[in-house]
Amino acid sequence: MEENLMEENLDVDFRKQSNAKEIWRRFKKNRSAMIGLVLFVFMFAACFIAPLFVPYTSVTRQDTKNKFAPPSVAHIAGTDNFGRDEMARILYGGRMTMSIGFIAAAISLLVGGSLGMMASFYDKADNLIMRFIDILASIPPILMALAIVSAMGTNLRNVVIAISISRMPAFCRVVRAAVMGIVDQEYIEAARAGGTGDFRILTKHVLPNCLGTIIVQTTMNMSLLMLAAASLSFIGMGVQPPAPEWGSMLSEAREYMRSAPSLMILPGLGIVLVTTQLNLIGDGLRDAFDPRLKT
């Protein structure tokens, strides 16, 4: 009797609960990941909601009489070397840096990841793809990004393309290694014995097994990509002034490092915080995605 009752109650919603909800439940238990997530959501929201409160004009409006002003009610973080509001520039700069990081990570993951999957799944493609990736990887990422940007012209789109290509080898190799470990497993053979086709095996059986690796790789690389974007801007090949970007702000503030250190500290801190948060989240997600670590 009791058993029957239990069955009826549990039967309906069992599946839904065991996927997204379960992952979230396990993620919540990880304190450092949660701290990372909360801080990240806060910074992300601050940067992306900013346009509602701070007009873009305050980012570019110069007030030469009011250079290097200390923090005040009008300028919460003071002003920079052109008398522009530093807080507004930090917020808009964060928007720029983070969007570049996300979009570039998505492109790298999609292109590099699918190349890596194909390489590990189809023997014949393996050599072709991996040697191509080796060529890409033999050029230092920043140098390659620089070369691409200078060849294609300095604008936002090209910066994103350049840094995605420069990070692609990392994605490709990690995904390939992860898939290779899974493809030889007996449950893949079992799936094939059940009549499952290549595409379905890749997407349904292999991919979820490497999801942890891929997610960690993506979040970690996202921070690297943000750094790459910032470095490009720092040397003047990235986002062009007057548009704010954390890297270019750092670069501009370098001259006033001694007189107005806050101009360097704030965007630097932004980069450090966001990359740390992303790494913490990535770690937490990896643990949460692995049902074997279920507690």
Partner 1 sequence: MIAKETTKEATKEQMLEVKDLFVEYQTDLETIKAVNGVSFSLAKGETLGLVGETGAGKTTTALALMRLLPERTGKIKQGDILINGSSVLKSSDKELMRLRGETIAMIFQDPMTSLNPVLTIGDQISESISLHNSQGRTAEQIQLRVDEVLNMVGIPSARKGEYPHQFSGGMRQRVVIAIAMACEPDLLIADEPTTALDVTIQAQVLMMIRNLRDRLGMSLIMITHDLGIVAQTCDNVAVMYAGELVEVGSARDIFKAAHHHPYTDGLFGSIPKLRERVKRLKPISGLMPDPTRLPTGCYFSPRCPLCADICRERKPDVFAKDGHKIKCHLRINADGYIKDEVRS
Residue 202 carries which DSSP code?
I
Residue 53 engages partner 1 in binding (rule: CB under 8 A): no
223 binds partner 1 (CB under 8 A): no
Token pair 């992952």 in the structure block, residue: 23
193 binds partner 1 (CB under 8 A): yes
Angle at CA 48, nearest 5°, toward 46 and 49? Answer: 65
Tokens of 105: 């990570």
Q: Supply the minimum distance, in Å, between the C-beta of residue 3 and partner 1.
A: 7
**208: which 2 tokens?**
């979820």
- Nearest approach, Cβ of 215 to partner 1 (angstroms)? 13
CA distance 134 to 293: 35
Q: Which residue in 73, 195, 258, 295 binds partner 1 (CB under 8 A)?
A: 195
205 near partner 1, rule: CB under 8 A: yes
Give me the helices (H) in 31-85, please. Answer: 31-53, 57-60
In the structure encoding, which two tokens stand for residue 128, read together?
């072709």
Q: Please give the Cα distance from 176 to 127 (Å, whole number).
A: 12
Residue 292 binding partner 1, by CB under 8 A: yes
10 is an interface residue for partner 1 by CB under 8 A: yes
By the 8 A CB rule, do 232 and 146 touch?
yes
Q: What is the DSSP letter of 19?
A: I
Binding mask 105-124 for partner 1 (x = CB under 8 A): ------------------x-
Among 24, 42, 56, 187, binds partner 1 (CB under 8 A): 187
Judged by CB under 8 A, the residue of 25, 31, 131, 192 near partner 1 is: 192
Residue 199 in the binding site for partner 1 (CB under 8 A): no
**Residues engaged in binding partner 1 (CB under 8 A):** 3, 6-7, 10-11, 14-15, 17-18, 123, 185-197, 200, 204-205, 208-209, 211, 290-292, 294
